[in-house]
Structure 1
Amino acid sequence: MAALYNTAAPKKAANLSVNSDLLQKSRALNINLSATLERALREELAKYEASQWVEENRAAITSYNEFVEQHGCFGDEFREL
């Protein structure tokens, strides 16, 4: 699977607005805002990529599921429950 993004890309400053109470409490706990935002963005990007993959492969997944429903799965006769 291809990387979600270039981890070696340089950092770039960004201005954003955050709830003031959330910011104050985060700073009091020494939470690294940049690292937290990057982690959240990675998670969102991964969710989006997974969703796109499912959409792009929906026809093949449906076809495979129908085949298995009709013919069973390879090795079913050897399966032990």
Structure 2
Amino acid sequence: MPQPLRKPANLSLDSNLVSQARDLNINLSRAAEEGIERAVRSERERLWRIENAEAIEASNKYVEEHGLPLAKYRQF
């Protein structure tokens, strides 16, 4: 699997936090990347929920009124 293209970035971080991370041998670049990845995923999920709220509400309303589609075929 090819390595993702890396782009240098300047970040301003809490100096105490940076010191603690270095004392614990934490790779700051990797930790920052993982944190940004989580933030991006979380924001995409939030936006998806907003964009699809009407469809989700309609689906939930249908299930409330009619039950689960194909429920009679459930084995549990």
- Do they fold alike, i.e. is TM over 0.5? yes
Structure 2 gaps of 5+ residues are: none
Name structure 1 gaps, 5 residues minimum: 1-6
Offset at residue 75 of structure 1 (A)? 3.5
Q: Distance in 1 between matches of 2:7 and 2:72?
A: 57
**Number of matched pairs:** 74
TM-score, normalized by length of structure 1? 0.77
Name the CA distance, whole Å, in 2 between partners of 1:17 and 1:79. Answer: 54
| CA displacement, residues 29-81 of structure 1 (integer Å, 9 cap, x when unaligned) | 11000000000000000001111111111111111111111111123345577
Structure 1 stretches of 4+ moved >3 Å:
75-81
TM-score normalised over the length of structure 2: 0.82
- Relative contact order: is structure 1 or structure 2 higher (C-alpha 8 Å, sep ≥ 6)? 1
The percent of aligned pairs where both chains have the same amino acid is: 35
Q: How big is the alpha-carbon RMSD for the aligned residues of Structure 1 and Structure 2? A: 1.8
